[in-house]
Amino acid sequence: MDDEFAKLIRRMNPPRVVIDNDVCEHATVIQVDSVNRHGILLEVIQFLVDLNLVITKAYISSDGGYLMDVFYVTDINGQKIGDQATISYIKTTVETNASFLNSMRSSVGVVPSKEYTSIELTGTDRPGLLSEVSAVLTDLSCSVVSAEIWTHNARAAALLHVKDQSSGCAIEDQKRLLKIKKLLCNVLRTNGDLRTPSMSISSARVLHGERRLHQMLFADRDFERLDCVNYNSRPHVTILDCSDRDYTAVTIRSKDRPKLLFDTVCCLTDMQYVVYHGTVVTGRMEAYQEYYIKHVDGFPISSEAERQRVMACLEAAIERRASEGLELELYTDDRFGLLSDITRILREYGLCIRRAEISTMGRKVKDTFFVTDASGNPVDPKIVDSIQHQIGRTILQVKGNLNTPPKLPQEPARSFFFTNFFKGRSFQSFKLIKSCS
């Protein structure tokens, strides 16, 4: 009965979206007013970032069963949303498309697919791991259609969509699937690893790979710190009691980058915390996030152990997508075994793949690799030059600067705590915000 009543309330109060290009000089302002439920904030943010929009500022409020959120967004070039079709799509999708909320709610899971077979892998990271995995798949006549690979804290997670090389369809033969699983498990096993590698194969397609990778690494406990890893550049997370409001206050200070807000809210949501109020401000060098949270059971964080755990998990969620290493982009005609050949070349030159995204578009393939040397240091430009000479300079291109990026200057910490955050905070007050600075 409670679930049916909640559905009735949502039908009677559909989401309302206001998109304004005039209130701010540098960004498009998107206001979302809706009945609140756990996870809806993440769904809206996920929807915006999937449109390649950059959230430069956000104000979040969800007390009393309703949420009133404001997002300042630009395109990837830092410009306002000028395309009316995109503006209409955002408004229509969030407000009127009922399947949007239903599909986004289950976006962690999978949907049946006759085109691809999904493979999920988690285990200990090491040099050449992706090369070995892709070599096994090539030997087994599996073509990699798309893949995302993240590494963090000496752990690795990979989400691959593969198909049979001859038929071009999903692999359904159970004996063949068992063989694939056995050989890949052998690749993942390492001597002295106290954690058992994890692997699953299914005839389904993961709806949102990035959120799934967050969950895979979280389940693999990549947030547990290792003594052998340097964490000097990790985000600064502070968690304080806010007893007068019965909240837990979370502040995060880190380097700004795309999808930072998504990664943070994804972590809190998957840990079963609800954001009741929040302020996000990004600058040229750093981003500042502040949240007032409770667990879904209505209680704030009550123990030091849980406080430390939430801090570690937030730090890990932000670090996973950090662009560690030199970015290499491969764009060429697709062919069977290409991924195996490219990753073998990178391995032979002593490079480690820290993060990768593999995609095929018709007969073309576009692969992005973030690489370091075996010790995690910047890649020698001479090695990159040799690799480009072997593969082709027009095929493999370097994105960004080959030199080591300078360390960012430390700006003084800023805080919005205990100002007027709770005073007069309403949806109408958000509309009065005129400045983007």
Specify the domain boundaries for CATH 3.30.70.260 within the chain.
117-225+324-399
Fold of 117-225+324-399: Alpha-Beta Plaits (3.30.70)
126 CB contacts (<8 Å, ≥6 apart)? 190
In the predicted structure, residue 206 carries a pLDDT above the cut 90: no
In the predicted structure, residue 1 carries a pLDDT above the cut 90: no
CB 118, CB 205: distance < 8 Å: yes
pLDDT, tens only, 117-168: 999 999 999 999 999 999 999 999 999 999 999 999 999 999 999 999 999 9
Structure tokens at 350: 């002593």
In the predicted structure, residue 87 carries a pLDDT above the cut 80: yes
pLDDT, tens only, 215-248: 999 999 999 987 655 555 689 999 999 877 789 9
Mean pLDDT is lowest, of 3-12, 105-114, 217-226, 230-239, for 105-114
In the predicted structure, residue 433 carries a pLDDT above the cut 50: no
3-state secondary structure of 297: coil
> What is the C-alpha separation between 261 and 46, in angstroms, rounded?
9
In the predicted structure, residue 422 carries a pLDDT above the cut 80: no
- pLDDT of 6: 53
pLDDT, tens only, 382-409: 999 999 999 999 999 998 777 644 444 4
pLDDT, tens only, 284-320: 889 999 999 999 999 999 999 999 999 999 999 999 9
Instruction: DSSP letter for 367, please.
Output: E
Structure tokens at 248: 């837990």
Structure tokens at 308: 């430390």
For the entire predicted model, the pTM comes to: 0.84
